[in-house]
Structure 1
Amino acid sequence: MAKPVRAAIGGVWITCVFCKGGLFRDREVKLNSTGMELFNFAWANESAIGLICWNCGYVHLFANKDVELYKVRKDEF
């Protein structure tokens, strides 16, 4: 099972836009384009950081590579 993380950009904590939660699951998300898929170059598509809200499941996408992830202790979730 994935472990929750907290995330920040430039020292500003990220919170869920839907429920205001501050814990997320993270994963890499490919930003596929039709042209790249058509020519079998999907592997070369840009990727983003996906933060999935631990509380409500809302998916946040960040193409900004400056997103910082912080581990959360078990007693925090």
Structure 2
Amino acid sequence: MAKPVRAALGEVWLTCQVCQGDLFREREVLLNSTGMEFMKLAWANESATGLICWRCGYVHLFVNRDIKLYRADK
């Protein structure tokens, strides 16, 4: 199972928009477009950082590469 992380964007610590939790599971998410899928070029689509709330499961997507992840002890 993935380890929990905390996340910050600059000086701002992120919390879940739904439950205000501050622990997340991180994973890369492809931002697929219909045109690229049709041309069999899905691999070239942009990706985002997905932060899945540890408490409620809400998925937050960030394309901003300045997001920093910090290991958290649950």
The answer for the alignment partner of 1:19 in structure 2 is 19
Q: How many residues align?
A: 74
The answer for the alignment partner of 1:69 in structure 2 is 69
TM-score (norm 2): 0.98
> Does structure 1 residue 55 correspond to structure 2 residue 64?
no
The answer for the alignment partner of 2:7 in structure 1 is 7
For 2:39, the aligned partner's letter is F
TM-score (norm 1): 0.94
In the aligned structure 2, how far is the partner of 1:65 from the partner of 1:47? Answer: 10
CA RMSD of aligned residues (A): 0.5
For the residue of structure 1 that corresponds to 2:55, the secondary structure is coil
1:24-74 deviation per Cα after TM superposition (whole angstroms, max 9, x unaligned): 00000000000000000000000000000000000000011111000012x
Identity %: 69
Query: Could you list the runs of 4 or more consecutive aligned residues of structure 1 that deviate by over 6 angstroms after TM superposition?
Result: none
